[in-house]
């Protein structure tokens, strides 16, 4: 991302973002956890977009250029870490258990009390919980090949578009077979997997903005509201109604 800012320390704090606002591209010398216990936060890196509702947190490794955007009024909790309890060097989305949720909220709101004995004990438990958190992403990788990027742009504009790769490829000047190969090589996933991630990404944004489940299902290309609820629950472990 061009014009990114270098902010050496990753802050540990909580803050509220108004709907449709964000934090411009920047990077830290420290690792960071980004968690929204209210609203939905999207994080964009140079290679992917991630979105995290209240049951997910995002791991941003040191040196990763990223920006934030809020969908709905969002309460953001930021945790800076010199340690790497996950032993990972790529961004991921983590499932947030009830205990981890309360620890992230409480610790980021402690202020100067974080340096007290009780604050240090809380941090130790928090790190233990992070180390065992499982990955549950909603991730939309970015295309590098221009033919693939053209197809992705069509579906970004209208995620309800149900055409297959052969039909989409005619607009991009590539065969369905070529696009199938490019999805695996460029994205590391199949076309159906990528389209599901894209639809879930848009669905979480719309739910955060207060759209009803039926309207979200239609806008994002699901055949029925029941089909949307089923895919949502299997992918994220919760129903869409829990985000309204």
- Kindly state the percentage of the chain with pLDDT values over 70: 98
pLDDT at res. 1? 63
Q: CB-based burial of residue 173 (10 Å sphere; 0-12 exposed, 13-18 middle, 19+ buried)?
A: exposed
Angle (CA) 90-181-147 rounded to 5° is 90
C-alpha distances (whole Å) from 36 to each of 15, 41, 58, 75, 135 are 10, 6, 9, 5, 16
Please, are residues 136 and 93 in contact by the beta-carbon 8 Å criterion? yes
Strand positions, DSSP E, the chain: 5-6, 13-17, 22-27, 31-44, 48-52, 56-60, 66-81, 92-95, 139-141
**For the chain, what's the residue count?**
244
Domains of the chain: 5-131 (2.60.120.10), 143-243 (1.10.10.60)
pLDDT tens-digit map of 161-211:
999 999 999 988 999 999 999 999 999 999 999 999 999 999 999 998 889
pLDDT at res. 90? 87
Dihedral over Cα of 105, 20, 61, 88: its sign: positive
Name the pTM for this structure. Answer: 0.86
For 92-99, what is the mean pLDDT?
92
Please, are residues 87 and 31 in contact by the beta-carbon 8 Å criterion? no
């Amino acid at each position: 991302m061009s014009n990114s800012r270098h902010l050496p320390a990753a802050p540990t704090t909580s803050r509220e973002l108004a709907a449709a606002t964000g934090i411009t591209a920047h990077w830290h010398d420290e690792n960071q956890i980004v968690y929204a216990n209210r609203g939905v936060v999207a994080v964009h890196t140079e290679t992917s977009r991630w979105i995290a509702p209240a049951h997910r947190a995002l791991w941003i490794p040191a040196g990763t250029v990223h920006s934030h955007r809020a969908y709905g009024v969002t309460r953001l909790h930021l945790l800076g870490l010199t340690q790497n309890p996950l032993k990972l060097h790529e961004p991921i989305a983590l499932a947030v258990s009830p205990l981890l949720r309360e620890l992230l909220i409480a610790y980021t709101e402690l202020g100067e009390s974080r340096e007290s004995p009780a604050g240090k004990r809380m941090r130790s438990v928090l790190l233990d919980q992070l180390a065992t958190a499982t990955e549950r992403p909603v991730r939309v990788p970015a295309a590098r090949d221009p033919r693939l990027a053209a197809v992705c742009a069509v579906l970004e504009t209208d995620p309800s578009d149900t055409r297959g790769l052969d039909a989409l490829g005619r607009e991009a000047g590539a065969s369905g077979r070529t696009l199938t190969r490019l999805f695996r090589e460029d994205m590391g996933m199949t076309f159906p997997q990528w389209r599901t991630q894209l639809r879930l990404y848009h669905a979480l944004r719309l739910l955060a903005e207060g759209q009803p489940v039926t309207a979200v299902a239609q806008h994002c290309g699901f055949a029925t509201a029941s089909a949307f609820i089923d895919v949502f629950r299997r992918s994220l472990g919760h129903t869409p109604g829990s985000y309204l």
